[in-house]
Structure 1
């Protein structure tokens, strides 16, 4: 029986030490404008500073209100990609950041350009990307006079869109050239910090053409500081880890510490599990890996927690959000959590009743410190190793019976993707929300970090179908999106990929319905709601836009289609007619629900059960 706690310890890293390291913004605000450049406009100065901040690409939709800024960007070293919709541009910028590590820009015109981009920017903030929105707004003299696409306090709320807050880490409207030095200093400092940073600079049309005159931009180099745990925090963590068996729970925030985490796991023998966004940080083929938690996760995790429950769990870089944990109390060990995160507000939030040792630290720095402590204290290390179980459950693989050819079973498709794309190439793979997410997360296996991308926070439809363009563009190599037909119809950027010959690949799970909704409502015993959509020929759509397209109707055709797409130079759409009646993998979720007394049958379920969680 799992013991419940009512007490939570406060974070112990009260006086974190700062560790300085070189950053990509070391020369972020480098050269001042010399006397010969006094005629430079604000728009040109902004483009120059973006270059010096390390921005290499910008994504957006232009318009008359931001023509000068668009022109300045287009004549800089920043690669400017013109998209078909601002939300798609923002999703592409988000994924370009994660694929490259360099901050990116989204540009929009006034009014609807800004509001269209907000969903993608909301996702960028939730995912932890570094992105700047450059938008145009109505000039002061025209505000309140019904200007075209007027953007002012008369038409849009300023709070949240044009101010620092929940959507933007920093926001400012530039009314004069004199603001630029301080604005760019703030941007450089924001980019130099660990974690995400989403900013919004709104520039009135008239201001874009103002001369910089004698305004000088800063020259001071900036350094990135990371927070490391103090000695007291490390000592307390070691004491807990040697009190009994422990597990390691990895999240997306630990992706840059893969080597250190593998060393820690192998030195201690601890079981390792991960969130959907944490796949591949420790190879999913590693003997100590027990599975993915949460949405699309594995029943083997619950088997471990029920049969070999650890005394405590070391959580590295995960918020333990609902899609990662479902807040299942069976995931709470007897002695609770050692929860390490760069954000001091994260530890203890998901499980407020559980005993939690909260440590604010960069994950890589923390694991390095912990390894050093264990290596210098051989007695403690040996004691920790002795406590770990000799055998661990492995993520289950559901056998696929031979014989069926059409419609295509999603399991067969995923095994082919594993063979051709995951094992046979270096492509980044991303999965759209919905059943695409659960099939991909459950079946695909990754042996390295940063090759699999899903959104477990915002989870917006259209994220992967457009984000794949940004990822493929900055990599100058393959990126693959596994998406549903509903998402593909909602907001794709095939035309953009064709224009720039970006090697993006879309694999469309075509079942003529929003199938997570359809299957979920059926499992909840609810009738009358219609989640079907007309069957769409995505091969024809792709060819009509100038991309390569192929329709797969037989299981025997899958491998050849995938190999063709990997070998192709430009964008490819693979339209796969899948069996809509194959239930998406939910064994891990069902075990979690069962432990809380929720039934996923036609019997009336308890409160808060919904189709994404069944």
Structure 2
């Protein structure tokens, strides 16, 4: 009987095998060889530690800068960041300063920024800056160290566990962090990478906290690093929503109220205003979104705002206001009923929780959309330019009162800054909380968007005295901070700017007071509180740290000093001794305080300007 033959092909030619014991063995060997040749090789797991793998994830997410302060508990993470080929590490002097710098680096670059801290006080020191990042709408990722599981509860150095630091809200998602977790195992990396990518792709801000136990940082990963996709997901309004908004705006006169969230819509807002003849006002953070020298611009609202806005609302009150990218919180609106038009608001924001909250009694048509997308869609319903009538009140320029001493008048300083810094350069200007905020917001005029930064929500002292370092690094160009002496004494990163030779300028309004508090308490008739500071020479301190220090004690030297500071390639501190008796411009706030029942205790104080917040 003829044996049945099975013919098998292989890459080595043809083989035959009988269906007996030997044939079965040969068949199995041949099949195994074919499978070995056709099977795809398993991808190799890179020999990376958790810290190195996490840094690779951050690189894939577009991170280019990391600001922080080192420490033993997070040495492995610090080392991994420092050895990244694409992430620059800026070693700061305080974790709070690092977080503020990271916030402003984001706004200057539109990239996600990392903050790194060690355990314990490293984390808690950074919290105020991270709170500001969340409130301002920045995209910041905080990497921290925490105590390894075997050491928890045993009084480890800077122990960071549920026995020493509250876990809720710091290591979990909530009011402070959009996303927070403790990375206890390498297997968590894929999920963390996807959560970070999803958060960064969403509109608005995103602040995350990834805390890694010290022992886990050096553990080798056992999974592949996932690829991440950062395609932005911007909310788009429906056609019916756009048409309804256009119909409401067409029923009568309307104004535009632009906030920081509309900074990407500057060109579209100007086109809409010029087609319709609408008046435009801005929040303090929205300065420059609409050109401040435009005839349709009626001024800044809120803290440091212009009396022209209230004049417009009283004399030419619009039927509706189109609100773009502002929460209309107290710093922007004072919640004043005088700012509510007869037919209410059309409120556009990416956050569905925003429209209608500041003025719950007002009629509000909510639109959940990116401001630029919405205004561009709205323009299709206003194809032709209307007849222009620009008899609108514009921001006032009050006459500067004569000098009462040999000290520099803040008003004269602001005029010099306008000429040298704003009109003479492309530098971004950051203003600190306090009277410096009020002076700059009221008196400076920006012809374009994205050149002015203030923090209005958290409003922490020390925000922009340190944030200027991040702004200079983020934009790779000149950044100028206008700050008070109190803030400069509180939290300065001049030394960091010296180390990295960043083109930063600090203009210090040096009046030897916490003067917003001093002036406010005086005008409210509250005596006994001492806001005086010892006289400080900041130019000497700056030179002691390696920066250039310039002191100005007379108005005649202002312009030359500013020009020298702007021409410098490294950090400069310009110490200006200003007259503490000059009241910061706050007439808009006076009207709001009066409406809320706050009265001056003396008749002659009614016309003076109260800048001190009291609600």
Same fold (TM over 0.5): yes
Tell me if structure 1 keeps the 8 A contact 2:100–2:467: yes
Give the drift of 1:184. Answer: 0.4
Q: Is the 8 A contact 2:410 2:578 kept in 1?
A: yes
Distance apart, 1:543 and its partner CA: 0.4
CA distance in 2, matches of 1:54, 1:106: 14
CA 1:542–1:318: 2 relative to 1, 3 Å:
same
For 1:73, which of 81, 84, 88 is the aligned residue? Answer: 81
Residue 330 of structure 2 corresponds to: 322
Which residue of 2 is the match for residue 437 of structure 1?
Answer: 437
Does the 8 A contact of 1:38 with 1:211 survive in 2? no
CA distance in 2, matches of 1:367, 1:459: 30
Of 163, 173, 185 in structure 2, the residue corresponding to residue 176 of structure 1 is 185
Larger Rg belongs to: 2
Deviation at 1:109, TM superposition (A): 0.3
| Structure 2: 5+ residue stretches without partners | 1-41
Partner of 1:423: 423
Q: Deviations over 1:188-234 (max 9, x none)?
A: 01101110000000000000001113x01223534221111112211
Tell me the distance in 2 between the aligned counterparts of 1:611 and 1:405.
Answer: 24
Contact persistence 2:435–2:611 (CA under 8 A): no
Q: Once the two structures are superposed, what CA deviation does each residue of 1:512-571 show, in whole Å capped at 9, x if it has no partner?
A: 000000000011011000000101010110000000001100001010111011111110
What's 2:300 paired with?
292
Matched, 1:134 2:143: yes
Tell me the residue number matched to 1:47.
Answer: 55
User: Is 1:405–1:555's contact at 8 Å kept on the other side of the alignment?
Assistant: no
Verify the 8 A CA contact 2:129 2:463 in the aligned structure 1: yes
Q: Distance in 1 between matches of 2:597 and 2:169?
A: 40
Q: Would you say the 8 A contact 1:589–1:613 is kept in 2?
A: no
The question of whether the paired residues in 2 share the 8 Å contact of 1:302 and 1:592 is answered with no
SS at match of 2:527: coil
Q: Matched residue pairs, number?
A: 569
Counterpart in 2 of 1:281? Answer: 289
Alignment of 1:236-247 (within 5 A): 236-247=244-255
| 1:502 Cα offset (Å) | 0.8
CA contact (8 A) 1:249 1:316 kept: yes
1:426-468 deviation per Cα after TM superposition (whole angstroms, max 9, x unaligned): 1110100000000000000001111000001000000010000
Between the aligned partners of 1:174 and 1:407, the Cα distance in structure 2 is 56
Candidates 121, 128, 138, aligned match of 1:112: 121
Mapped contact 1:434–1:612 kept (Cα < 8 A): no
2:465 equivalent to 1:465 = yes
Q: Secondary structure at the match of 1:612?
A: coil
The secondary structure found in structure 1 opposite 2:264 is helix
CA distance in 2, matches of 1:594, 1:119: 31
Map 1:84-99 → 2, pairs under 5 A: 84-99=93-108
Q: Distance in 1 between matches of 2:228 and 2:614?
A: 50
Aligned with 1:62: secondary structure? coil
CA-CA distance at 1:510 after TM superposition: 0.3
Q: What's the counterpart of residue 31 of structure 2? A: none
2:343 matched residue in structure 1? 335
With normalisation by structure 2, the TM-score equals 0.90
**What do residues 348-379 of structure 1 show as CA deviations (whole Å, max 9, x unaligned)?**
0000000000111110000011001222xx5x
Deviation at 1:389, TM superposition (A): 4.8
* Aligned-partner Cα distance in 1 for 2:439–2:614: 14
- 1:124 is the counterpart of 2:125: no
Task: Tell me if the contact between 2:510 and 2:576 (Cα under 8 Å) persists in the aligned partners.
Answer: yes
Displacement of 1:595: 4.3
What is the CA RMSD across the aligned residues, in angstroms?
A: 1.7
- Report the secondary structure of 1:339's partner residue: strand
Shift of the 169–283 alpha-carbon distance from structure 1 to 2, 3 Å rule, reads: same
> 1:476 and 1:555 mapped to 2: Cα distance?
31
Q: Is 2:295–2:390's contact at 8 Å kept on the other side of the alignment?
A: no
Q: Offset of 1:599 from its aligned partner? A: 2.7
For residues 155-198 of structure 1, the C-alpha deviation after alignment (integer angstroms, 9 at most, x for no partner) is 01100000000000000100111100110011001101110000
Judged with a 3 Å threshold, the aligned counterparts in structure 2 of structure 1 residues 222 and 554 are, in CA distance, closer, same or farther, namely closer
Q: For 2:372 and 2:349, how far apart are their aligned partners in 1?
A: 10
The reply to whether residue 505 of structure 1 matches residue 505 of structure 2 is: yes
2:173 matches 1:164? yes
Residue 610 of structure 1 and its aligned partner are, at CA, apart by 8.4
Structure-2 separation of matches of 1:405 and 1:297: 27
2:405 and 2:518 map into 1 onto residues whose CA distance is 23
Q: Partner residue of 2:201?
A: 192
Equivalent runs, 1:230-379 vs 2, <5 Å = 230-375=238-383
* 2:479 counterpart residue number: 479
1:63 aligns with 2:94: no
RCO higher in 1 or 2 (8 Å CA, sep ≥ 6)? 1
1:476 is displaced (CA, Å) by 1.9
Q: Which residue of 2 aligns with 1:612?
A: 613
2:613 is paired with a residue whose SS is: helix
Distance (whole Å) between structure 2 residues aligned to residue 598 and residue 139 of structure 1: 53
Match of 2:10 in 1: none
TM-score normalised by L of structure 1: 0.90
User: Contact between 1:314 and 1:338, CA under 8 Å: does it hold in 2?
Assistant: yes
